[in-house]
Chains A and B, each alone.
Chain A
Amino acid sequence: MWLVYAGTAAWVAWLFGLALVGRLGVDPVATLIGWYGKGAMNLLIVGLTITPLRRFTGLSLLRFRRAVGLSAFFVLCAHLAVFALLDLQSLSRLGVEIAERPYITVGMLAFVLMIPLALTSTDRAIRKMGRNWQKLHRLTYAVILLGWVHYDWQVRGDVVEPAIYLSIIVVLLGLRLLPRQRGRVVAGQK
């Protein structure tokens, strides 16, 4: 589990280091924002794969799911930090961007929705909240969809890559809608 955290932190730091020494191209701020954004989205997708993977193949990576989700949140913080502190360099500009650019509004909404998920990622919260914890964490579905919209709305030219991302997300969310054999029996016994 710590490998997920360490790997994510190392990746974020490595990219930042490359940008610092000028090895990330001539527009390092935009490149960093892009990589961190994609990184967060990819980690969320990995996290959303864990449940269907267990259900359809029996392979359980459930013990990594919290680390993957928190890592996604961490990378998303880096994404936002670079945008606010290195690109805009001004809180008032950030306010204007959030208010006036639909894709920034949507991106910020995805970030805000992730905050309660990150805060309730402790064993204690999971115990205390019970079934409500699961309900709350279904917000991940909204987060990944908002994240995709945020990404798609700024693309110029390439229509294929956003379409690939969307189809992966739709499949991962769609698998959750398939009727559950065992779940139905349990529900019937109640």
Chain B
Amino acid sequence: AASGFATPALALGRSDANTLEQIRSYNNYYEFGFQKEEPAKHAGALVTDDWRVEVGGLVDNPGSYTLEDLIGGLTVEERIYRLRCVEAWSMVIPWSGVELADVLGRIGVQDGARYVAFETVLQPAAMWNANARGMDFPYVEGLRLDEAMHPLTLLATGIYGEPLANQNGAPIRLVVPWKYGFKSIKSIVRITLTAEQPITTWTRIDANEYGFYANVNPQVDHPRWSQATERPVGVGLFGGRRDTLMFNGYDEVAPLYAGMDLRVDY
């Protein structure tokens, strides 16, 4: 399932990707601070040993999974994806991981399930900013089931073939390349299949600014800034901006939203 998911013109190679150093030094992981360089400084405190993921809701095989239970034996692939942040900067990242669909197959999705809810670990002792005013941790996110089952959607465990750094969401995180980066929740400890659309952290903070879908869309601006262009990270002082692509360039997901008004379901 590795190829055929991106049109050849938009397929990316490692040479297009940001360096590992860039990817590890410029992060949004608010539990470790609001500034981009803070997660790299503080996320070392996160304890990732004996990681468990609680699987529940409308599944055949609920329970507390080790990483080996959850993804062991599944096909690990390298996927070089564009990452577009809602703040209008972007990167290219060579992830390694498994398709979320494979994991959902393993845990057994029941008939009534229509959404997948995810939760980030909460370790207040390690996360100095976890009590930040205006935020409410643990961080939660969600996908519609068909989005979760799409072959582009990954559970990533590495970058450049190396295990994820904590600031990048170790030991396991979601990657949904056609959505703004905040959908790709980090350091997952809970996966719940639900019938109802789950609440997400940013929608709870401001539903006018951050919708459930959060598809990259140059035609639908954030209320406070334009989404038409983006500043690629790592191009230096004179690199400028470039145009943002619909669905971040992953047009193959368009059928998922056929008939929906993406200005309403932003």
A→B interface (CB under 8 Å): 19-20, 22, 25-30, 32, 86-89, 93, 96-97, 100-103, 153-154, 156-160
Contacts and interface: CB of A to CB of B under 8 A. Distances in A.
Nearest to B239: A29
A87 B225 CA distance: 14
A18 to B, nearest CB: 10
Contacts of A32: 237
A87 B231 contact: yes
Interface of B: 18, 22, 25-26, 30, 34, 36-37, 87, 89, 132-135, 221, 224-226, 229, 231, 233-234, 236-241
A103 B224 contact: yes
A86 B30 CA distance: 28
A27 B231 contact: yes
8 contacts: A20-B237, A25-B37, A26-B233, A27-B89, A28-B236, A28-B237, A101-B224, A157-B34
A30 B231 contact: yes
Nearest to B205: A157
B13 to A, nearest CB: 20
Nearest to A159: B134
Contacts of B221: 100
Contact of B237 (A29, A103, A156, A159): A29
Contacts of B30: 157
Contacts of B236: 22, 28
A27 B36 contact: yes
Given A101-B224, A158-B34, A29 B231 contact: yes
User: Helix, strand, loop or mixed for chain A's interface?
Assistant: helix
Given A29-B231, A157-B34, A96 B226 contact: yes
Nearest to B232: A27
The residue among A29, A32, A156 with the most chain B CB atoms within 10 A of its own CB is A156
A26 B241 contact: no
Given A97-B226, A159-B134, 13 more contacts: A20-B237, A26-B22, A26-B233, A27-B233, A32-B237, A89-B240, A93-B229, A100-B221, A100-B226, A103-B224, A157-B34, A160-B132, A160-B133
A66 B120 CA distance: 51
A86 B221 CA distance: 22
Contacts of B234: 26-27
A87 B238 CA distance: 8
Contacts of B239: 29
B225 A159 contact: no
A156 B134 CA distance: 10
Contacts of B241: 87-89
A154 B34 contact: no
A22 B237 CA distance: 8
B226 A101 contact: yes
Contacts of B225: 101, 103, 154
